[in-house]
Amino acid sequence: MEKDCTVFTIRRLFKEDMEKIKEYSSNFDFLHFNPLNEEYIWHILLEGAFWAVLDGQKVVSVTYLLPADSTAFTQLNAAWNVIDLLDCSLENTLLCGYVHTDSSYADRDIYTALSNLWTVQAARRGRSQMIHFIPAHIDFDLERLLNAGFELVGLRGLDNLVPHYIFTKAVSFEKIKTQPGQQVEKCKITDTKAISMLCEHNYRGFDMDVEKNILFRR
């Protein structure tokens, strides 16, 4: 993959940046259910944080962080789905929330910057695992997210059955390597039924091949 040499900066957003935060959240209003309502936004400001990726002074991407055991998240059906899928403890997990990126930066490596941010913040909060999920109807850079060390572990309808890709990563800057002899399955990125089935059988998507198939292992 061609390397992106753009140097991005990242800064935290506060209540004084509410206009930017609301602009970010409005990008998900087209979904049947957008969790980023005003109440949820205030919970994030109190218990987590919003962060912006900047190119110079221009905000090109926004995301949020929230302890997965926070009241705001555990009240959502999404929390139950995550627990059921991963059989994990939310108290050790940091939720890496929706990402929205300016369309003119869709081909830039935003996810490397975000992955580094998420990892540092998770470590500071004493969390050993990160979970990131994003609505399936939104274009995002799957290959770069996998290259950043996240693994695709689920494709499920979360709140109001809005389908989401669900990713997880241990709090480490290292990418898990495939072991010799490990069984690998591949699946077309468009075959959502097969992706969901593989994940439900404990396969994890970890990379993409030159034909843009997702590679799975377990």
pTM of the model: 0.90
d(CA 18, CA 2): 36
Q: pLDDT digit string (tens) for 145-168?
A: 999 999 999 999 888 888 999 999
pLDDT score recorded for residue 5: 61
Residues 6+ apart with CB under 8 A from 40: 72
Q: pLDDT digit string (tens) for 112-122?
A: 899 999 999 99
Residues 6+ apart with CB under 8 A from 100: 24, 27, 28, 61, 62, 63, 138
